[in-house]
Amino acid sequence: MIAQETLTPEEMAEIDHEIALVPMRRAAAIEALKIVQHHRGWISDDSLQAIAGYLEISPEELDSVATFYNLVFRRPVGRNIILLCDSISCYVMGYEKIYGQIRDRLGISFGQTTPDGRFTLLPNACLGTCDHAPALMINNELFRDLTEENLDEILDRYH
Amino acid sequence: METPLTQHISFDRPCYNLRDYEKNGGYQALRKALSLSPESITNTVQASDLKGRGGAGFNTGMKWSFVPMNGHYPVKYLIANADEMEPGTFKDRMLMEGNPHQLIEGMIISAFAIQANISYIFLRWAYKKAGRLLTHAIEEAYAAGYLGKNILGTGYNLEMYLHTGVGRYICGEETALLNALEGKRATPRAKPPFPQVSGLFGKPTIVNNVETLCNIPHIINNGPDWFKSLGKGNDAGTKIYGVSGRVKRPGLWELPMGVSMRELIEDCAGGMANGYRFRGALPGGASTDFLVEEHLDIHLDYKSVAAAGSRLGTGTMIILDDHTCPVGFVHNLEHFFAQESCGWCTPCREGLPWTEKILLSIERGEGRPEDLQLLETHTRLLGPGNTFCALAPGAMEPLQSALKYFREDFEKHIDQKKCPWR
């Protein structure tokens, strides 16, 4: 199959920088996926083929890497990504209530995106801030000590 | 009480930059180390009895001593395992956000000891602040001549790179971490060969936990006898202990290795929150066996915790209180492990989801009396020796101990056909 998309010069330059640090092109696979996802939001089949071609590996092999990692998105995601910690300390401290409130407020469950593309909601393993559970991340920001009161205000910051 | 690891950490101000760190004695250990022979550094670390703080508890200097030093290996690697993803564990985040130069100094000394010329920090994706601070600190260290070519005029070269992962618990397993760094699926590798001989890209490699590496400058500065004197009982040094769950003051504390569980929970964490009673705790992350009230006076060192039937693990404790259903608690853990299984070996790939389904059915009041036997069978089939790596055996630790200490709670679910907590 021929790739319908090609990498942009900017993406290629960033991937080249990573390739220069490793002994073989294919070793830059994860970095390349991160770079393209950073520019395009997610990894489409076409993007995957373009990256695989550039790294001189098969798309199937690259897909086996892409689908292995939790934070490589093989489906489109919303403008903002909510990663709600569902691990043990957050469980004890009541993340299920926070989840219920997000579901009620945004109408989405884990793995879903709001129809307007504003939010995608994903479960996330322990965020490593257990003394301030429950916790979530939106995009690159960490929010801790969540309560039913402060959650709405946090969600309102994202459009 | 000495607190070497956290003495320069305060979250009331920005973390130390290079100049502040140097003013407070930073990089003096590196200067000293570069004047010593690599072998003598390894011997000092081995004599200090520093044990790996990532959970396994293996003597760090001994681990280094397996790296070939005969000059036939021009490429070697030193890697900081900063993929902190053990549920309930949040200590390495504090060390990296609080004093990034301490980790970098520890890494340079460790790399010199094994004569590695390339080093990586394998950082978990979620640790954005640590990533920003480490990136800046690495730049400062290069500019000051602590990294790069001909470090401090000694002829020793070391490059350091920050690699951020894309999220998978198994990346914390050192051989899986190596595969991730090679751009592959993070499945564990067969051992032997051990990474010390054939690791990243087939070259000799040492992978050490962040907290382990942060101890190195202090051991070089103060010597192995000083380090041993810091511990209270069977083990050397201090430890970053943590408590999360329904206690008055959840948090992290640097304490002498071997502090008692009661001191940690009652004195440091302020005891249980009002209205909550202690039922048990996982002493060192999700993959450790429960300890219960009768264990409160044991010392939290490797040997004492093992004698009580658990593991010190990461030293960050998760409390089970009387308002939380033990079956729901264990179901949450097994859900995590089932999700994070890499799928490489059959017992783990098939057994963990099965375990999770049984626990969910019990939690929903649909359990059968024979399910407890079935769960016990799983704890054996997924136990040590039957799987490719330690993930599934680790997953069985909280389950087997919950079946022992909270059996009545499991039985109540089955008898009453509902969760008594819901």
Place of tokens 């021009």: B74
**What's the CA dihedral at A95, A87, B404, B352 to 10 degrees?**
130
Nearest CA in chain A to B184: A65
Q: Please judge whether A132 and B329 are an interchain contact, meaning their C-beta atoms are less than 8 angstroms apart.
A: no
181-210 of B, contacting A, C-beta below 8 A: 181-186, 201
One domain, residues A134 and A109: yes
pLDDT tens-digit series, residues B104-153: 999 999 999 999 999 999 999 999 999 999 999 999 999 999 999 999 99
Who among B127, B180, B332 is closest to A88 (CB)?
Answer: B332
Top-level class of domain B8-230: alpha beta
Q: Touching check for A154 and chain B: CB below 8 Å?
A: no
Q: Average pLDDT for residues A111-130, to the nearest whole number?
A: 97
The answer as to whether A71 is a domain residue is no
The answer as to whether A52 is a domain residue is yes
- For the entire predicted model, the pTM comes to 0.96
The domain total for chain A is 2
Distances (CA, A) of B418 to B289, B322, B398, B404, B410: 25, 17, 22, 20, 10
One domain, residues A152 and A86: yes
pLDDT tens-digit series, residues B61-119: 999 999 999 989 999 999 999 999 999 999 999 999 999 999 999 999 999 999 999 99
At B118, phi and psi to the nearest 5? -135, 135
> What architecture (CATH level 2) is domain B326-416?
Up-down Bundle (1.20)
* DSSP character at residue B153: G
Q: Please judge whether A69 and B86 are an interchain contact, meaning their C-beta atoms are less than 8 angstroms apart.
A: no
User: Chains A, B: CB contacts under 8 A, how many?
Assistant: 133
**Residue B123: left (phi > 0), alpha (psi -120 to 50), or beta?**
beta
pLDDT tens-digit series, residues B153-182: 999 999 999 999 899 999 999 999 999 999
Which residue in B94, B80, B84, B78 sits closest to B55, CA to CA?
B84
Who among A23, A86, A128 is closest to B90 (CB)?
Answer: A128
One domain, residues A152 and A94: yes
One domain, residues A85 and A62: no
> Which domain CATH number covers A127?
3.40.30.10
Which residue in B236, B220, B230 sits closest to B42, CA to CA?
B220
Return the bridge partners of B318, or none: B244, B282
pLDDT tens-digit series, residues B354-374: 999 999 999 999 999 999 999
Who among B90, B324, B339 is closest to A131 (CB)?
Answer: B90
Q: What is the pLDDT of residue B233?
A: 81
Which residue in B188, B142, B158, B138 sits closest to B77, CA to CA?
B158
Q: Touching check for A64 and chain B: CB below 8 Å?
A: yes
One domain, residues A102 and A149: yes
Q: Show residues of chain B in contact with A30, CB under 8 Å.
A: 165-166, 180, 183
In angstroms, the CA A20 to CA A25 distance is 8
**What's the CA dihedral at B257, B260, B264, B270 to 10 degrees?**
-150
Give the type of residue at A106.
L
pLDDT tens-digit series, residues B200-232: 999 999 999 999 999 999 999 999 999 999 998
Note whether B290 and B401 are within 8 A (CB): yes
CA A40 to chain centre: 12
Residue A2 has pLDDT above 60, yes or no: no
User: Do B8-230 and B326-416 show the same overall fold?
Assistant: no
Q: What is the pLDDT of residue B55?
A: 86
In angstroms, the CA B199 to CA B176 distance is 10
CATH 3.10.20.600 assigned to domain B238-321? The reply is yes
Q: CA of A119 to nearest chain B CA: how many angstroms apart?
A: 18
Percent of chain A's residues with pLDDT above 70: 97
**What's the CA dihedral at B122, B196, B142, A24 to 10 degrees?**
-70
In angstroms, the CA B269 to CA B196 distance is 39
Q: Please judge whether B246 and A93 are an interchain contact, meaning their C-beta atoms are less than 8 angstroms apart.
A: yes
Confidence of residue B197 (pLDDT cuts 50, 70, 90): very high
Confidence of residue B418 (pLDDT cuts 50, 70, 90): very high
In angstroms, the CA B64 to CA B226 distance is 21
Give the domain extent around A97: 80-156
CA B387 to chain centre: 21
In angstroms, the CA A132 to CA A130 distance is 5
Q: Please judge whether A65 and B183 are an interchain contact, meaning their C-beta atoms are less than 8 angstroms apart.
A: yes
Residue A134 half-sphere exposure toward CB, CA atoms < 13 A: 25
Residue A17 has pLDDT above 70, yes or no: yes
Q: What is the pLDDT of residue B31?
A: 98
Residue A1 has pLDDT above 60, yes or no: no
Q: Please judge whether B126 and A127 are an interchain contact, meaning their C-beta atoms are less than 8 angstroms apart.
A: yes
The answer as to whether A72 is a domain residue is no
The answer as to whether A2 is a domain residue is no
Domain boundary among A22, A37, A66: A66
CA B245 to chain centre: 19
Q: What order do you get walking across the sheet with B159-164 strand by strand?
A: B159-164, B118-123, B77-82, B205-209
Note whether B390 and B341 are within 8 A (CB): no
One domain, residues A98 and A148: yes
Question: What ranges in B231-382 are assigned the alpha helix state H?
Answer: 261-262, 302-307, 326-340, 346-363, 371-381
| Mean pLDDT taken over chain A | 95
Which residue in B121, B163, B134, B141 sits closest to B30, CA to CA?
B141
To test the contact with chain A by mutation, choose from B162, B164, B244 the residue with the greatest count of A C-beta atoms within 10 A, namely B244
Domain boundary among A37, A66, A95: A66
Which residue in A84, A92, A82, A83 sits closest to A131, CA to CA?
A92
In angstroms, the CA B261 to CA B283 distance is 8
pLDDT tens-digit series, residues B9-61: 999 999 999 999 999 999 999 999 999 999 999 999 999 999 999 988 999 99
Complex prediction ipTM? 0.95
Count of C-beta atoms within a 10 Å radius of residue B33: 26
Q: What is the pLDDT of residue B56?
A: 85
The packing angle between helices A9-19 and A45-55, to 10°, is 50
pLDDT tens-digit series, residues B255-296: 999 999 999 999 999 999 999 999 999 999 999 999 999 999
Q: What is the pLDDT of residue A5?
A: 73
Confidence of residue A4 (pLDDT cuts 50, 70, 90): low
| Mean pLDDT taken over chain B | 97
Nearest CA in chain A to B330: A88
Confidence of residue B1 (pLDDT cuts 50, 70, 90): confident
Q: What order do you get walking across the sheet with B278-282 strand by strand?
A: B251-256, B238-244, B316-321, B278-282
Place of tokens 């979530």: A136
Q: What is the pLDDT of residue A158?
A: 97
One domain, residues A50 and A118: no
B348 is written with which tokens? 């783990």
In angstroms, the CA A55 to CA B308 distance is 51
Who among A31, A33, A140 is closest to B128 (CB)?
Answer: A140
Note whether B91 and B55 are within 8 A (CB): no
Q: Are strands B118-123 and B77-82 parallel, antiparallel or unpaired?
A: parallel
Domain ranges of chain B: 8-230, 238-321, 326-416
